[in-house]
Amino acid sequence: MILQSLYALYERLADNEAYDVAEPGFSPQKISFRVVLHPDGSLFAIEDSRVPNDAGKLVSARMRVPGEAKSSGAGINPGLLWDNQTYLLGRQPDDKPAGFGQKRFEAFRQRHVALEQSVNQAAFSAVCRFLEQWTPDQLQAHPILSEVGTGFGVFQILGEPKPVHALPAIRDWWKNNLPKSGDVIEGQCLLSGEVSAIARLHPKIKGVAGAQAAGASLVSFNDSAYESYGKEQSYNSPVGEDAAFRYGTALNALLSGPQSSKHRLRIGDTTCVFWTDTKTILEDIFAAIAGSGDHAAEETQDHQVREKVHAFLSALQQGREVYGNLADDPDATRFYLLGLAPNAARLSVRFFYQSSIRELLDHLRRHKADLEIVREFEQPVGKRRADSEFPAYWEFLRETVRQGDDPPPLLGGALMRAILESTPYPESLLTAIIRRIQMERSVNYLRAAAIKAVLTRNHQLTITTMLDSENKRPAYLLGRLFAVLEKMQEEGHREQTGGLLEKTIRDTYFAAACATPASVFPRIEQLSTHHRRHLNPGRKVQFDQLIGEIKWPQSPGSGTAKSHNLEDQGLFILGYYHQRKDLFTRKEKPIEAAAA
């Protein structure tokens, strides 16, 4: 199904110039320089072909050239009217044996001279004359070649607006004379269903993080253990040459083409690409949402993208009645997400997800509901942005490790799968976040939201977004009590000294109170009597009432639990977070003591 959907996608991408998708027999390549010739083949100049990107930095220009991308280790394999400096001009690489560059230049020259009569075009003949008179020792006279680096080069005739390979007559000749790969074996293509020449080798895929820069294989067989019924290499899985070109070109466009930034995202060591079978708004902004959550709207300078992000967020808020704003037919339009990871010279498929747009949005709405909790910062504070109502997936992964460390490689994929399929969240997410909280003694919005999501979906607990005075679970109540005692300590210290505490009971006792409450709560409550002594009468009454409300639901003689399992630790943290947030947001009106 992976290859079939990519094969079908090719036609749509080919019709959109923004994707720069090549037709069969051609491939998009990064061109850094051009050799400009007089019509008689004499050299006019070697010029820089790079263009400035959005940041003003010079980058290689993308051009569609004859032939496919060149794979490493393919021996001497000259391109047609394009190649690197070694083939095109005979440059000798520093790390290669003597004669390496000369041999490749001679092969490049011989290929073109041999084709001159067949091509029968003046521009092509000019290239042949240049190659016959050029010698690699002339490279020193052209310092621009050192500036452009290892990029590819092309030829252009002075006065012609297009490079030689792009001239209509040259292109037509190439399309009518595409080289055949050895003995052609025909069979029924698994993708098109047609009987056609079967591809012996499949296209190299570029743009997967950690994979070989020259490209890696998604489909390949190079060991007899993988062969069957006497069929070798990719004849094991018969895909027509045209179909292989189409799926490979479509996948490369998503991974490394000019529009790849809106189709690609990273999850740990996995590179993900996504697409829809027809053009949709969701396809345009899914990467931005996955990478920035609802902050994507404020991060973009593009007004149209901002409107699309708002349409997506409205769909999550309002439901199915507005799904049509993201796709013409949400029930019929398919969404695909493919996760790829490097594996030596090959690619491993980590996961492949597909659903309708409606199903996808339903799953995302459930995810949003599961993690919804009162935000720590509901409005911007100074340079700090407000907490996101729909955080990006990677923000939760970041909360599982110390700053600067990488999350576990498999956790990201498991989390994404849970989000997209409404399956249980990885329990390791809960474990890792609770561990970080206990080690750092810090409970923030993202950590609380992740804990709520796991307990809601995996443990079937009913957890409110804000403080729940009806929740009588002892662990939740102990978390609330800890927050109240900490606030009492802070206010008591401020009343006594006029300053802020550098260290509270959270820094000393939080981890133990969360995991083994019976070991520390007697000590914490004993300390609270000292802190209470410094409060004004009105605040004493308020704290006494609140502590009484929290303690009252506990059964007489039940005592404090000796230990909490993982679920109860999560409830303790949520009780603490809810109560802490409530204490800092509600209006504090001191109550005058009756005796005053």
How much is the average pLDDT of 320-334?
A: 92
Beta bridge partners of 157: 37
pLDDT attached to residue 149: 81
- By residue count, the chain amounts to 596
pLDDT attached to residue 179: 75
pLDDT at 233 over 90: no
Tens of pLDDT, residue by residue over 185-219, are: 888 899 999 998 888 888 889 999 999 888 888 88
pLDDT attached to residue 471: 95
pLDDT attached to residue 202: 86
**Cβ contact 361:316 at 8 Å:** yes
pLDDT attached to residue 185: 83
**Cβ contact 29:152 at 8 Å:** yes
Spatial CB neighbours of 271, under 8 Å, sequence gap ≥ 6:
207, 208, 209, 255, 264, 265, 339, 340, 341
Of 390, 399, 337, the residue nearest 366 (C-alpha): 390
CA–CA distance, 198 with 178 (Å, rounded to integer): 15
How much is the average pLDDT of 121-146?
A: 96
- Dihedral pair phi/psi, residue 274, rounded to 5°: -140, 155
Secondary structure letter of residue 536 according to DSSP? -
Phi-psi region of 93 (alpha: psi -120 to 50; beta: other; left: phi over 0): beta
pLDDT attached to residue 201: 81
Residue 404: Cβ within 10 Å count: 5
How much is the average pLDDT of 273-294?
A: 92
CA–CA distance, 119 with 452 (Å, rounded to integer): 69
**Cβ contact 206:252 at 8 Å:** yes
How much is the average pLDDT of 503-531?
A: 93
Residue in the block written with tokens 């991060």: 299
Q: Which of 144-153, 506-515, 582-591 has the least mean pLDDT?
A: 582-591
pLDDT at 589 over 80: no
Q: Which of 60-74, 75-89, 312-326 has the least mean pLDDT?
A: 60-74
Q: Which of 412-426, 485-499, 582-596 has the least mean pLDDT?
A: 582-596
How much is the average pLDDT of 370-388?
A: 91
% the chain with pLDDT above 90: 67
Strands 204-205 and 216-217: antiparallel
CA–CA distance, 446 with 392 (Å, rounded to integer): 10
Query: Which structure tokens are listed for 370?
Result: 């599961």
pLDDT attached to residue 397: 94
Beta bridge partners of 338: 273, 352
How much is the average pLDDT of 485-490?
A: 94
The residue type found at 108 is F
pLDDT attached to residue 500: 83
Tens of pLDDT, residue by residue over 446-474, are: 999 999 999 999 999 999 999 999 999 99
pLDDT band at 24 (very low <50, low <70, confident <90, very high): confident
CA atoms within 13 A on the CB side of 298: 8
- Note the pTM of the prediction, 2 decimals: 0.81
pLDDT at 555 over 60: no
The C-alpha R_g of the chain, in whole angstroms, comes to 32
How much is the average pLDDT of 106-131?
A: 97
How much is the average pLDDT of 154-158?
A: 98
Q: Which helix (H) or strand (E) holds 311?
A: helix 303-318
Q: Which helix (H) or strand (E) holds 530?
A: helix 521-532
Secondary structure letter of residue 494 according to DSSP? H
pLDDT band at 588 (very low <50, low <70, confident <90, very high): very low
**Cβ contact 239:319 at 8 Å:** no
The residue type found at 508 is T
Tens of pLDDT, residue by residue over 65-84, are: 998 776 555 578 999 999 99
Q: Which of 187-201, 393-407, 543-557 has the least mean pLDDT?
A: 543-557
Residue 548 burial (CB < 10 Å; 0-12/13-18/19+)? exposed
Q: What is the 3-state secondary structure (H, E, C) of 410-448?
A: CHHHHHHHHHHHCCCCCHHHHHHHHHHHHHHCCCCHHHH
pLDDT attached to residue 571: 98
Q: Mean pLDDT over all residues of the chain?
A: 90
- Dihedral pair phi/psi, residue 108, rounded to 5°: -60, -45
pLDDT at 487 over 60: yes
